[in-house]
Amino acid sequence: MANVKAKASRHAKSESMWGYLMVAPTVIGLLVLNIYPFLDTIKLSFSKTRPFGLYELRGIENYIEMFSSPEFWRANLNTIYFCILTVPLGIFLALVVAVMLNAKIKGRTFFRAVFFLPMVVAPAAVAMVWKWMFNTEYGIINTLLAHKVNWITDPNIVMVTCAIVAVWSAIGYDAVLLLSGLQNISKSYYEAASLDGATKLQQFFHITLPMVSPTLFVVLIMRLMSSIKVYDLIYMLVEESNPALTNAQSLMYLFYRESFVTGNRGLGSSVVIWTVALIGLVTVVQFWGQKKWVNYEV
Amino acid sequence: MNSSLERSRRIRTIGIYAFFIVGCVIMIFPFVWMFLTSFKTVEESMIVPPTILPAEWQTKNFQDAMASLPFLSLYKNTALMVFWRVVCAVVFSSMAGYAFAKLRFKGKNILFSLVLIQMMLPSQIFITPQYQMLAKLGLTNTVFALVFPGLVSAFGTFFLRQAYLGIPDEIAEAAYLDGCNQWQTFVKVMAPLTKASMAALAVFTAVFAYGDLMWPLIVNTDLNMMTLSSGLATLRGQFSTNFPVMMAGSLLAMIPMVILYLFFQKQFIEGVAMTGGK
């Protein structure tokens, strides 16, 4: 009896030793790579950059500078505008594609692969082609429109251009996620509905949409977060010498320029902290709002 | 009755195909246009209305792109970055995911909360201090710098923990009774059961590492140490009006991943669908 107990306690001891050993790389990594930098960014946002990589704590000076900068408020507007342009349309189109991919037709694997293609191509390369196609003088899009639209340099249009490219890039990814949600819906619901004489459209609104709403919610949250953090597409489409930059600069673009082009890391850090707060706020609102439309009773 | 049902079904099928054909044209055309432009001369690219096929399939644009960017280094850097990030994510996340899911030790919940905190914060909040650490150590412009933020993966840990939670405890207990120690149980019995999840995490990590732009742009400014993405950003600055060269460069940058995708299309899509929602 005592022997068994001793063995059990030795087992527990070795179990906790292995536990610590196995989480050690990840925990140490997280502390060094994430937790410390997170706290350091907060500190930086209250500091002024000095030469030789030194910092001086300056209270809320950076935040005052940030809140009184028109460029910052413009970046907020641009980011929100980008979200409004891309998120609803992008998710709607992705849902349409997902519903189509869920139909029993030949070649759906091929179609799925085609829509997913932009995901495996680096955003930098994607942006380059679109920049060429949107070129004012020689771009194929203006040729087809027979009209010289300044897609990239007109301050009023540039965000629409970025949004088109963003929606085109993300549609396949979102559709694949939504498709896996659709495939979880049991066929028996549809069979019962058609026996009751429901049309396809009625079936979509009364079966498909409520049943896929949890997946739709996940995609919405994810898309919204990544749209608030948008950087690479806009950076590649709108270079710093572009006259429309002020109207296209997102919060993360502003962060990049402040921190690594201008070298004002304190202010840059304030911008990041602000963006994190914004993402947090949007997420809380989403989770609060989901009760009204997401259906978990399956 | 039956024939009208048949007919409406056929109309529906035709409608779906029409939708997909239009969709495929919209999705594929930019790549076709990139390919065709990359073989045209600058003069030909500026003809209005544009020619569809190049008058002459000349490769000068590729030579120009390769002359201004060290593409071999870019391929090598990108491949090493993706490789090490995938290895680190899969190995460390498997270990931690297993321990968090199956082993009992004090402080487990507190340690796991670090994972959750990281997942909730956007990666940009870590960038400036991460860069400053590397700069202090004199490690910028290295492959290590490219891998650095991906040495551990909070998302991977969370994801593989889920996978291990789905495996019944009895399997690990049986292995233990058979004389395996904890490590052997993990490596020989448990880890192989999460193969699908590990593959999904690998694909997910690779796709996002490959597309990452801001970090490589900040940390490796030496042309020979850039990745394909940050190299393209540099090319964009040099050839801002020479679109055929930029198309050639973009084509060179996307080819390796597209070839992998052609072969492992199913794994790519299923991997991303499994990890979805991050």
Compute the distance between CA of residue B168 and CA of residue B188 in angstroms, rounded to an integer. 16
pLDDT at A53: 64
Of A147 and A54, more confident: A147
Asked whether residue B224 carries a pLDDT value surpassing 80, the answer given is yes
Residue B100, token pair as written in the block:
């968090």
Asked whether residue B277 carries a pLDDT value surpassing 60, the answer given is no
Work out the mean pLDDT of chain A and round it to a whole number: 91
Contact criterion met (CB < 8 Å) for A272 and B104: no
Tell whether A140 and A284 lie within a shared domain.
yes
Contact criterion met (CB < 8 Å) for B13 and A26: no
The interface predicted TM-score of the complex, written ipTM, equals 0.90
Tell whether A129 and A14 lie within a shared domain.
no
A197 in B contact zone (CB under 8 Å): no
Residue A212, in any domain of the structure: yes
Tell whether A15 and A136 lie within a shared domain.
no
Tell whether A10 and A96 lie within a shared domain.
no
The per-residue b/e assignment along A58-96, b for 16 or more CB within 10 angstroms, e otherwise, is eeebbbebbeeeeebeebbebbbbbbebbbeebbebbbe
Residue A80, in any domain of the structure: yes
B139 in A contact zone (CB under 8 Å): no
Contact criterion met (CB < 8 Å) for B183 and A259: no
Tell whether A24 and A150 lie within a shared domain.
no
Q: Residue A295: which of A185, A175, A174, A176 has the closest Cα?
A: A185
Tell whether A273 and A136 lie within a shared domain.
yes
Q: Residue B79: which of B143, B161, B28, B160 has the closest Cα?
A: B143
pTM: predicted TM-score of the whole model, two decimal places: 0.91
Q: Residue A242: which of A167, A166, A150 has the closest Cα?
A: A150
Residue A42, in any domain of the structure: no
Strand partners, B203: none
Residue A15, in any domain of the structure: yes
- How many Å lie between the alpha carbon of B144 and the closest alpha carbon of chain A? 13
pLDDT digits (tens, 9 = 90+) for A15-34: 899 999 999 999 999 999 99
A44 in B contact zone (CB under 8 Å): yes
pLDDT at A52: 64
Tell whether A18 and A77 lie within a shared domain.
no
Q: Residue A20: which of B110, B117, B174 has the closest Cα?
A: B110
CB B261 within 8 A of CB A117: yes
Tell whether A84 and A10 lie within a shared domain.
no
Residue A161, in any domain of the structure: yes
Compute the distance between CA of residue B64 and CA of residue B245 in angstroms, rounded to an integer. 7
Residue-range definition of the domain harbouring residue A223:
69-292
Residues 6+ apart with CB under 8 A from A274: A66, A251
> Which fold is adopted by the domain B69-275?
MetI-like fold (1.10.3720)
Q: Residue B103: which of B186, B43, B184, B159 has the closest Cα?
A: B186
Number of structural domains (chain A) is: 2
Residues 6+ apart with CB under 8 A from A30: B114, B115, B118, B152, B154
Asked whether residue A297 carries a pLDDT value surpassing 80, the answer given is no
Residue A73, in any domain of the structure: yes
Tell whether A121 and A24 lie within a shared domain.
no
Residue A60, in any domain of the structure: no
For A269, the 3-state DSSP assignment is helix
Q: What is the CATH number of the domain that holds A254?
A: 1.10.3720.10
Q: Residue B237 half-sphere exposure, CB side, CA atoms within 13 Å?
A: 9
DSSP B153: -
pLDDT digits (tens, 9 = 90+) for A204-237: 888 889 999 999 999 999 999 999 999 999 999 9
Residue A279, in any domain of the structure: yes
Asked whether residue B180 carries a pLDDT value surpassing 90, the answer given is no
Tell whether A7 and A146 lie within a shared domain.
no
pLDDT at B239: 82
Which amino acid is it at B17? Y
Given pLDDT bands bounded at 50, 70 and 90, which one contains residue B174?
confident
Tell whether A101 and A148 lie within a shared domain.
yes
Tell whether A86 and A208 lie within a shared domain.
yes
Start-end of CATH 1.10.3720.10 domains in chain B: 69-275
Compute the distance between CA of residue B186 and CA of residue B163 in angstroms, rounded to an integer. 13
Which chain B residues in 72-111 lie under 8 Å from chain A, judged by CB atoms?
92-93, 95-96, 98-100, 103-106, 108, 111
Given pLDDT bands bounded at 50, 70 and 90, which one contains residue A4?
low
CB A270 within 8 A of CB A59: no
Compute the distance between CA of residue A137 and CA of residue A150 in angstroms, rounded to an integer. 9
**Does the N-terminal peptide bond of residue B49 adopt cis geometry, omega within 30 degrees of 0?**
yes
Residue B138, token pair as written in the block:
């004199």
CB atoms within 10 A of CB A189: 15
Which chain B residues in 175-234 lie under 8 Å from chain A, judged by CB atoms?
181-183, 186, 207, 210-211, 213-214, 217-218, 228-230, 232-233
Residues of chain B positioned with their CB less than 8 A from the CB of A117: 27-28, 31, 258, 261
A15 in B contact zone (CB under 8 Å): yes
User: Mean pLDDT, to the nearest integer, of B206-220?
Assistant: 95
